[in-house]
Amino acid sequence: MPLSPEEVFAPLAHDLEVCGLTSRLLHGAPGVQNPDAWRVLVVSGVKVGTLEFDEELSTETLGMALWPVAFATQAAILENAQLLSGAVWPRCHTGHRHPMELSQEGEHDWPAWSCPKNPPYRRPVGQHPGP
């Protein structure tokens, strides 16, 4: 059974919630041919963009399906930061004002967020500790 878009998104919903943002997925997206593979992402009441959930990746591991969705989710939120009260997501540790970045590397903890200044500071996607 392929993972549903909602199952793939669940770790991101967690990381948004602990950072004080709510999230919702609306089925489909304007003008797409396969609405089952698309969702409109609503963060804290703002439609920030659309997400594609690759069906082939959804039959692989959660990590494989999650990485591109995490990338697109972060991009959509940072692009809409002004509408989201200056949201920096996901927050880095205390004293760092930048967002964490999605790491390409790692094995047991992949996919993970890492500090752009101190890459060994990482947290698996879905296990962000909050601010």
Binding interface with Zn ion (CB under 5 A): 92, 96, 115
Instruction: Give the nearest distance from C-beta 90 to Zn ion in angstroms.
Output: 10
Q: Which of 111, 105, 88 is nearest to 8 (CA)?
A: 111
Shorter beta-carbon distance to Zn ion: residue 55 or 101: 101
Instruction: Give the nearest distance from C-beta 107 to Zn ion in angstroms.
Output: 22
Shorter beta-carbon distance to Zn ion: residue 31 or 95: 95
Write out the E strands in the chain: 23-27, 38-43, 46-52, 101-102, 112-114, 122-124
Shorter beta-carbon distance to Zn ion: residue 47 or 96: 96
* Cα distance between residue 116 and residue 96, in whole Å: 10
Instruction: Give the nearest distance from C-beta 113 to Zn ion in angstroms.
Output: 10
Instruction: Give the nearest distance from C-beta 10 to Zn ion in angstroms.
Output: 25
3-state secondary structure 93-130: CCCCCCECEECCCCCCCCCEEECCCCCCCEEECCCCCC
Shorter beta-carbon distance to Zn ion: residue 63 or 90: 90
C-alpha torsion sign, points 55, 61, 64, 65: positive
